[in-house]
Amino acid sequence: MRHPFLRVLPLCVCLGAVLAEPAAAQWVFKPGGLAFPATALTETRSLAARLVNDSKVPINVDPAAITLTGSGAGEFSQTNDCPPILAPGRNCRFVVTFKPQSLAGSAAILAVPSITPGHPAALLSLGGNPFPRVQNDTGLRTCSDAKAAKLTCPVAGFPSQDAETGRDALSKTNSDANGKAGFNFTKLDANGQPLPASATEWGCVRDNVTGLVWEVKPVGDGKTGNQGLHDPEDSYTWYSTDNSNNNGAKGSPGKRRALCSGFNPVDPASWCNTEAFVERVNAEGWCGFKDWRLPDRRELLGLMDLSGIYLSAAIDRDYFPDGRSFGYWTATPHASYSAWAWSVNFMDGSSYFQYRTAHLAVRLVRGDR
């Protein structure tokens, strides 16, 4: 006899609970692709994406099986912080680095396999646009002969001058919208991200011709040391402990004169010399970067605009409003005399050597030489 309070569940209900299939695992990269901006040969750029588990089940990640495939796979590398098991609703971060080795368009696929059966790999498409590391032209728009300058081009006996063959003379490669006289610049914000040319506040400028990124300082007010670390009135002695690039002499530590922001005579890290300034800017992470350095002579000369547009300083004031006309230090030591190093004068476009004890302006740069 059946107990009056005993109910027998239908067999189909019990089996249904046992045989129910697990919810499908969905894990995707967000964004699904990384498009690297124009990148000079041998320059390095990094972008990030997140691998997200949008399912209701954990997914086993196989870090040893992560692959990069495609025609440009050798130009990309990755690091990540993914755990062995990615729980539902969680994500991990992939940082992909692009360093082009050729001018061919670079493309690759980053694949992250799962150990969990039945679930395909998560895929991240990668693309890069490399361009050659080249030097800017001078910005000159007139020609010269052996006796006179500012002549109409062409000049008989003096062919192929910069005003005839430089970027500023080639309408297909030049636009005054982002830099006059053949220059091509992009303003960057405090995190190193591009800004429109109309931006009124920016901390750095990327030269899209050379691929270098330059420090930008605020407009000067005629006083030294009152506008913070990047005060345009601050000046520094030349100093380098790098024996591979100081011609056998360190130079002057700049510990005697308070000509830069934060100077403290008992704190060597605050002294007014080029090396200490570089270390302070890298510690700050200016524009999100920590690989700032003193430019060499050729790099700094590459910013020189001799078109005559900017009468107070031979540099594009729309992008470098702090441009000053007197000397800036370069990282290039004099080859013959260890007491000297090379500087660049933005008033007349000259480059000349100075005693390392001299106090000159500094504009830092980052990017591969």
Boundaries of every domain in the chain:
27-131, 136-174, 187-369
Contacts of 15 (CB under 8 A, 6+ apart): none
How far apart (Å, rounded) are the C-alpha atoms in residues 298 and 332?
9
How far apart (Å, rounded) are the C-alpha atoms in residues 341 and 315?
22
Closest by CA to 245, choosing from 185, 297, 284, is 297
**How many Cα neighbours within 13 Å face the side chain of 10?**
3
**Residue 27 pLDDT > 80:** yes
* pLDDT of amino acid 307: 75
Residue pLDDT, tens place only, 294-329: 999 989 998 888 777 656 678 888 899 886 767 999
**Residue 22 pLDDT > 80:** no
pLDDT tier for residue 175 given thresholds of 50, 70 and 90? low
In percent, the amount of the chain with pLDDT more than 70 equals: 84
How far apart (Å, rounded) are the C-alpha atoms in residues 310 and 323?
10
How far apart (Å, rounded) are the C-alpha atoms in residues 47 and 36?
7
Mean pLDDT of 253-270: 92
How far apart (Å, rounded) are the C-alpha atoms in residues 284 and 261?
14
* pLDDT of amino acid 208: 84
What is the DSSP annotation of 247-314?
TT--B----S---STT--TT-GGGSSBHHHHHHHHHHHTGGG----B---HHHHHTT---SSS-SSSS
Closest by CA to 220, choosing from 131, 333, 325, is 325
pTM above 0.85, yes or no: no
How far apart (Å, rounded) are the C-alpha atoms in residues 229 and 221?
14
Per DSSP (E only), the strands in the chain are: 27-30, 33-40, 45-53, 59-60, 67-69, 76-80, 85-86, 91-98, 106-112, 122-131, 185-188, 194-195, 204-207, 213-215, 327-333, 340-345, 351-355, 365-366
Mean pLDDT of 130-158: 81
* pLDDT of amino acid 6: 38
Q: How many other β-carbons are positioned within 10 Å of the β-carbon of residue 225?
A: 17
**Residue 283 pLDDT > 70:** yes
Instruction: Tell me the average pLDDT of the chain.
Output: 84
Structure token digits, residue 126:
């990668």
Highest mean pLDDT among 97-111, 135-149, 265-279: 265-279
The CATH code that applies to domain 27-131 is 2.60.40.10
**Residue 19 pLDDT > 80:** no
Contacts of 318 (CB under 8 A, 6+ apart): 179, 180, 197
Give buried/exposed letters for 66-76 (b at 16+ CB in 10 A, else e): bebebebbebb
**β partners of residue 102:** none
pLDDT tier for residue 163 given thresholds of 50, 70 and 90? confident
How far apart (Å, rounded) are the C-alpha atoms in residues 134 and 301?
13
Mean pLDDT of 213-219: 92
**β partners of residue 57:** none
* pLDDT of amino acid 167: 66
If you search the block for the tokens 């005579």, which residue do you land on? Answer: 265
Q: Of residues 111 and 5, which shows the higher confidence score?
A: 111
pLDDT tier for residue 191 given thresholds of 50, 70 and 90? very high
**Residue 172 pLDDT > 70:** no
**Residue 57 pLDDT > 80:** yes
**Residue 1 pLDDT > 80:** no
Element holding 156 (H helix, E strand): none
Query: Rounded to a whole number, what is the largest CA-CA distance in the chain?
Result: 126
**β partners of residue 106:** 128
pLDDT tier for residue 224 given thresholds of 50, 70 and 90? confident
Residue pLDDT, tens place only, 338-358: 999 999 988 877 888 999 999
pLDDT tier for residue 21 given thresholds of 50, 70 and 90? very low
- Per the CB < 8 A criterion, the answer to whether 303 and 315 are in contact is yes
Residues present in the chain in total: 369
